[in-house]
Structure 1
Amino acid sequence: MKRMGILEYLKNHLVVGDGAMATYLYQQGAPVGTCYELYNLTHPKMIADVHQAYEQAGSKLITTNTYGANRERLERYGYGHKVTRINREAIKIARESIQSDTYIAGSIGSIVAGRVTQYDSDEYHDLYEEQATALLHAGVDIILLETFMDLQELLIAINAIRPLTDTPIVAQLSLLEVSRTRDGHSLTDAFAQLQKHGVTGVGLNCRMGPLEIIRALEKTIVPQDLLISAFPNAGRLGESDGELRYKSAPSYFGETAHLLINQGVSIIGGCCGTTPEHIREIAQIAQNQNPVTRINPPVVPEACEVLSQPPKRTESTVLEKVAQERTIICEFDPPKDLDVQSFLLGSQELYKSGVDAITLADNSLASARMSNLALGALLKSQLGIEPLIHVSCRDRNLLGQQSHLMGLHALGIDQILVITGDPTRIGDLPGASSVYDVTSFELISMIKQMNQGLAFTGRSLKQQAQFIVGSAFNPHVRQIESAVTRLEKKIQAGADYAMTQPIYDKQTLIKVYEATRHLDIPIFVGIMPITGYRNALFLHNEVPGIKIADDVIRRFESITDPAVARQVGVEIAKDLLDTAMTYFPGIYLITPFSYWPMTVELTRYIREKDARAAQDSA
Structure 2
Amino acid sequence: MKPELRQVLAQKILIGDGAMGTYLYQQGFPVGISYEELNLIQSEVVADVHRRYYEAGARLIETNTFSANREKLSKYGLEQEVEAINRAGVELARSSVGQDAYVVGAIGPIRAGMRKNVRTADVEDALREQILVLLDTQVDGLLLETFYDLEEMLIALRLIRQLSSIPVICQFATEGISTTHDGISLEDAFLRLKEEGADVIGFNCRTGPNGILRSLQGVAQLSDIPFSVFPNAGIPDYVDGRYSYAATPEYFAESALRFADLGARIIGGCCGTTPEHIAAMVKALQGYEPNRSEVYAAESVSAAERAVVTEAAPQTSVREADVEPTLVDIVKQRHAVIVELDPPRDLDIGKFMEGTKALQDVHVDAITMADNSLAVTRMSNLALGMLVKEQHGARPLIHIACRDRNSIGTQSHLMGLHALGIDHVLAVTGDPARFGDLPGASSVYDMTSFEMIRMIKQLNEGIAFSGKPLKKKANFIVGAAFNPNVKYLDKAVQRLERKIESGADYIMTQPVYDPKLIERIHEATKHLDVPVFIGIMPLASGRNAEYLHNEVPGIQLSDEVRARMTGLEGEEGRKEGVAIAKELLDAAMPLFNGIYFMTPFLFYDMSVQLTQYVWQKAERCELLLSPLLK
TM-score (norm 1): 0.49
| Bigger Cα Rg | 1
TM-score (norm 2): 0.48
